[in-house]
Structure 1
C-alpha cells in the first residue's frame, strides 16, 4: 500500500510504503516500512500520482499494488480515504498518522513532510462468533502488559465470523527486526478473544 496525500495547495506526498498480508481478500496484517526496490517504489509513486490527480480532490488515498520481481509494479485498487492497512501508522510509524494526514489535506492545512519515525506492525483481531449482541473481549489485559504495544477495539455493535473487531499495534526503533515485530503483533492479536 502506498498512502498518497493530495493537497489543495501543495505537492502530492507519499508515505513510506506499507506491506500487508491478506487472507480471504481481507487485510490481516500490515507493516511499515515495507522494503521495496527503489525502482518499484518510483513506479508506484508515479502511478499513484497519475490516478489521484485524474480523480481530483484533496485527502489521503490508500493505493494498493502488486509487485513482481520480473515485471515490476501493477496497480491493484484505490480507496479514497484512510486505508485499513494504514492503521499501522497509529503505532507512530510516521510523524503524522493517516487520519491526521487526511484531515489536514481535506481542510487545506499545510503538510510540510511525511517521514518515517519507527517500525510498526498492525495485526487484526478477528471474531470467531456471530452475534447481534454487543461483544465482550478476553485477553486484553495480557496484551496491554506488553511494552511498545497498543490495542484498538473498533466498538462494532455486532459480530460475524472473521469480522475485524480491532487491531494490536506494536512498534520498535527504525531499523529493528521487522519480522520479530510482526510475530509479536500476531501472537498478541491471537490472545484477544471476542465473546
Structure 2
C-alpha cells in the first residue's frame, strides 16, 4: 500500500452495526482511522469511530462520496451500492471484499450458479420469477423459498410445506431449494489476503432459533471426525480461492445424515458464526479480517479452549428502550464474556448482543451456556 499501515490509513466501513463495532475495537490496536457510513443516526458504531456519516448504503452518490478520499473500504453488510464501489475501485480506492464478489453474493441465485459452475456441492434449486412459476416448478413441495436479494438473519426465507403455503409465497424473484435432511448445520470462516495466503478457522456446529431462523447457539471447536472437519475446511478454502476474495468469508453448510456436506450460503465479512473467536481462538475473526484486507500475514486460528456462543435476542412481547436482566448473575459464573451491541431499542428477536462461554471442559461450557440462556434476558 502507498501509505504506512500503522496509523495513517483511512479505512471506511459500509455499515455501522455490531460487526463494525467489534471490528473497530480491533482496529484501535493498530491506530487505524475508521470512517463509518450507516443509515441509522443511532448506529452502534457512531461514538467509536473517527468519523461517522449518516446516509444510505444503497445510494450511489452517498457511497461514492463517502469513499472517494479513503484508502480502503470494507463492508459489514452486503446490501450496499456495488456500482459506486466499482467506480471507486476504478479510481484507485481499494475495496475488499471486491465489488464483483459483493455483487455475486448479494444475489442468492448467482451464488447457486457459482456453486454449480465450480463443482461445489449444494442442494438442488430452481429460479423462480413470480408466483405463477411456483405452480409449475420442477421441485416438488416441500421446499424452501428464498428471495434472491435483500434477505438476512432469517428474513427473506419461507418454508413451503403444503399447497396452502403458496398463498403466502414471495412474489419477488427468488429461488426454491430442496429441503436438506441434515444432521447438523455447520460453518467455516476462511480468510484470504492479496498475497493468496488462506487460513480457515476450525469448523463450528450451530443451532438455529426455529422462529427467527438465525443462529442461537454455537459450539466450537466441533467434535465431528477429522475427516468431516477437514472436508468442510477444504471446501471453504476452495470457495475462497475460486472467488479470489480478499477478506473474510463465512461458509454456512449442512452436514447430512449420510455424512455429505452441502454448502448453503456465503457471507463475505465477519459473521455471527465467528463471534466466539474473540475469546476462544488465538486470532479473532475481526483481527483476521483486518489482516486480510491490509494484506498482512494471517494469524493463528487455533482454538484456545472450548467456546460456546449464544446470541442475545430481544424477548417476545417487548419493544422499546432496552433493559438487560440477569447480567450480574451470569457474570458470577466463570468463563462468561458479555458483548452488548449498543442498540438503544429492542424488539422481538433483534440481535442485541452475544455471550461467549469458555471452559476446558466442553460439556461444562455447554451446560453453562444453557444456564446463561435461561437467565440473561433483553426486555424493555
TM-score, normalised to structure 2, is: 0.47
Single out whichever of 12-21 and 104-113 deviates more from structure 2. 104-113
Question: Would you say 1:183 and 2:367 are equivalent positions?
Answer: yes
Contact 2:215 2:272 in 1 (8 A): yes
Contact 2:192 2:292 in 1 (8 A): yes
Question: Would you say 1:35 and 2:219 are equivalent positions?
Answer: no
Contact 1:19 1:32 in 2 (8 A): yes
Per-residue CA deviations over 1:131-183 (Å, capped at 9, x if unaligned) read 2x43121211111121111111112232221222112211112xx2x233112
- Of residues 237, 253, 263 in structure 2, which corresponds to 1:49? 237
Which residues of structure 1 form unaligned runs of 5+? none
Single out whichever of 52-61 and 13-22 deviates more from structure 2. 52-61
Secondary structure of 1:185's partner? helix
5 Å-filtered alignment, 1:52-71, equals 52-71=240-259
Contact 1:167 1:189 in 2 (8 A): no
CA distance in 2, matches of 1:166, 1:87: 10
TM-superposed CA distance for 1:101, in Å, is 0.7
- Of residues 149, 166, 187 in structure 1, which corresponds to 2:353? 166
Looking at CA atoms only, which structure, 1 or 2, has the larger radius of gyration? Answer: 2
TM-superposed CA distance for 1:45, in Å, is 2.4
5 Å-filtered alignment, 1:45-194, equals 45-90=233-278, 92-128=279-315, 129-131=317-319, 133-173=320-360, 176=361, 178-194=362-378
TM-superposed CA distance for 1:2, in Å, is 0.6
Per-residue CA deviations over 1:37-66 (Å, capped at 9, x if unaligned) read 222223222321222223223111111111
Per-residue CA deviations over 1:70-123 (Å, capped at 9, x if unaligned) read 242111111111110211112x22110111111111111112532121111111
After superposition, the Cα gap between the structure-2 partners of 1:134 and 1:87, relative to the gap in structure 1 and judged at 3 Å, is: same
Contact 1:127 1:164 in 2 (8 A): yes
Secondary structure of 1:42's partner? helix
Contact 1:143 1:151 in 2 (8 A): no
- Kindly report the root-mean-square deviation, in angstroms, between the aligned alpha carbons of the 2 structures: 1.7
Question: Would you say 1:7 and 2:193 are equivalent positions?
Answer: yes
- Of residues 208, 216, 219 in structure 2, which corresponds to 1:22? 208
Single out whichever of 100-109 and 179-188 deviates more from structure 2. 179-188
Q: Which runs of 4+ in 1 moved over 4 A?
A: none
TM-superposed CA distance for 1:186, in Å, is 2.3
RCO higher in structure (CA 8 A, sep ≥6): 1
TM-superposed CA distance for 1:67, in Å, is 0.9
Contact 1:125 1:190 in 2 (8 A): no
Single out whichever of 156-165 and 80-89 deviates more from structure 2. 156-165
